[in-house]
Amino acid sequence: MNTDEQHRIPLMELMFHDHIATTWDWRNTNFQHLGTYRKKDLLNALYGTMPMWNMTSTFWSMHRQKFLNSYAFTQRSRSLIGFDDMIDHGYLSTDKKVQYTTWASGIRIIANFDETARTVQGTTIPALDFVIDTTP
């Protein structure tokens, strides 16, 4: 379960995002550990990858709203960059908690992995959330 954003580098996505669809391992889905699902959603949003959910009807009943929120969260970026070419990835803070990806279409995703809101380059990114920059 590698959700350590400070040591992850999206090499596969940088090379092949416009050719393959990557996701989590079926044994390590977005909701495998409820304490990390938001970070996994944020990684999916930043990298333009697909979330993976593995559930039972009981688990769905218990966490239905979390699943729906997870879908809506990742859909915000995936609908824009799902088939795009990732051309850059980097860090906007020295602690690597604020990261960006740039896409061939000109879209830039800025993600904040911190538990508090961060302001970078005049843009405030809420805690454990991302913003989409569509200005060329």
pLDDT digits 0-9 by tens, 59-118: 889 888 988 998 899 899 988 988 889 999 999 999 999 999 999 999 999 999 999 999
What average pLDDT does the chain have?
84
Three-class secondary structure assignment of 90-107: EECCCCCCEEEEEECCCC
Q: Tell me, what's the pLDDT at 1?
A: 47
**Mean pLDDT to the nearest integer, 24-50:** 75
Are 92 and 110 spatial neighbours (Cβ–Cβ below 8 Å)? yes
Query: What is the rounded distance in angstroms from the CA atom of residue 11 to the CA atom of residue 103?
Result: 14
Q: Tell me, what's the pLDDT at 11?
A: 59
Q: How many CB atoms lie within 10 A of CB 17?
A: 24
**Mean pLDDT to the nearest integer, 9-14:** 68
This model's pTM is above 0.85: no
Q: Which two tokens stand for residue 3?
A: 């959700």
**Mean pLDDT to the nearest integer, 121-131:** 94
